[in-house]
Amino acid sequence: MKLQRIKAVAQKEFLHVFRDPRSLGLGIAIPMLLLFLFGYALTLDVDKVPLIVWDQSATHASRELISRFSGSRYFTLKRYTDNYRDIERAIDRRDALIALVIPADFARRIETGEKVRIQAIFDGSDSNTATIALGYAENVALSYSRVVMLEQMRRQGVVSSAGLLDIRPRLWFNADMISRNYIFPGLIAVIMMVIAALLTSLTVAREWETGTMEQLISTPLKGPELIIGKLIPYFTIGIIDLVLAVLVGQFAFSVPLHGSLILLFGMSLVFLTGALSLGILISIVTKNQRMASQLALVSTMLPAFLLSGFIFPIDNMPLVIRGVTHIIVARYFVTILRGIYLKDVGLDILAGEAGFLAVFSILVLALAIRKFRKKIV
């Protein structure tokens, strides 16, 4: 290979990118748009759950319980009611996701130390939100029960709290429990995978469709020189996207980067090489821009979103699907980014994932070079 030929191909591809606003838009504007769109819209946090209350007791004790719900950041008290018909209508209209029905004998039972049953009606159409909201409600009720029990012990002259379990949690890596800190690193991996493959999936196919491939074939240019030369401009765009993504995460979304920035960029460059080479391989095989772009979307976006662990936990998937995820390269890059961003881990922990990325990049690049033939078929 001669560097002069690679440089000439890279310059040609750079000129095409700069002269085509669509390529620049696809390469830089769309990743930023997706980062902001998903960064703001995609969240796993469940808070401000709308609540409707039927307080049949209307006592100080019941109001104290209600205040614990309304004072929590997880619930928002919408209104009170005095019948089940309003509760049903509010849940049907999604004005409320949970209804709390406090019985008339609530205060009396609390005073006498009897067990009190409070009805909590949830909108189960959104099972994930309902499950999380149920956990929040149980924690609020448990906290209230503990306060009532301690108050009764104090009245009875019992000052010892022996036997009470005192859990003092300490959260590592994401102390504020903000889902965005967990989602954003994976979002970088998914966007880089999709955009990188889309960018390069049009390069060789475009040469065939415009008729310029015949001119390239007639030159002394070799296959590896052509492919590497075409990768360089999009590799540069990928680096720009990565820098912008890190800056957006740091300053727009306040996502902390606890790990090594050098390791982050090093692993990202390895991943970027494999993703770009995959796009080139698709372009070489299809020789058609429309088919290449569709195949790139199917082979990158769906696996990256669904099977990488980006949103859906892999451990919860069926055994067969879990096996399939082991060949999804985005899965390993998502793990690497989350490890660097959240846990400040190094290659001693991420050696397996880093090795898979390196092997994938080398194999795909080698396969793309092997598949390219300087002849008209």
Domain borders along the chain are 3-43+178-371, 49-155
Distance CA 42, CA 50 (A): 19
> Which tokens sit at 178?
């903000």
Give the per-residue pLDDT at 243: 93
**Rounded (5°) CA angle 73-78-80:** 125
Q: Which helix (H) or strand (E) holds 50?
A: strand 49-55
Distance CA 236, CA 272 (A): 10
> Which tokens sit at 182?
């967990």
Give the per-residue pLDDT at 277: 92
Distance CA 110, CA 186 (A): 48
pLDDT per residue over 161-187, tens digit each? 555 556 677 778 877 778 888 889 999
- Ordered DSSP codes for 246-272: HHIIIIIS-----S-HHHHHHHHHHHH
Identify which of 78, 93, 88, 145 has the alpha carbon closest to the alpha carbon of residue 116: 145
Report yes or no: 374 and 217 within 8 Å, Cβ to Cβ: yes
Give the per-residue pLDDT at 147: 83
Report yes or no: 10 and 229 within 8 Å, Cβ to Cβ: yes
> DSSP 3-state helix, strand, coil percentages of the chain (rounded to 5)?
65, 5, 25
Full-model pTM: 0.81
Give the per-residue pLDDT at 350: 93
CATH dotted code for 49-155: 3.40.1710.10
Report yes or no: 268 and 245 within 8 Å, Cβ to Cβ: no
Give the per-residue pLDDT at 150: 77
Extract the residue ranges of the chain whose pLDDT is less than 70: 157-167, 374-377
Q: Which helix (H) or strand (E) holds 76?
A: strand 75-80
Report yes or no: 269 and 187 within 8 Å, Cβ to Cβ: no
Report yes or no: 43 and 122 within 8 Å, Cβ to Cβ: no
List Cα–Cα distances, 39 to 35, 36, 61, 340, in angstroms.
6, 5, 42, 19
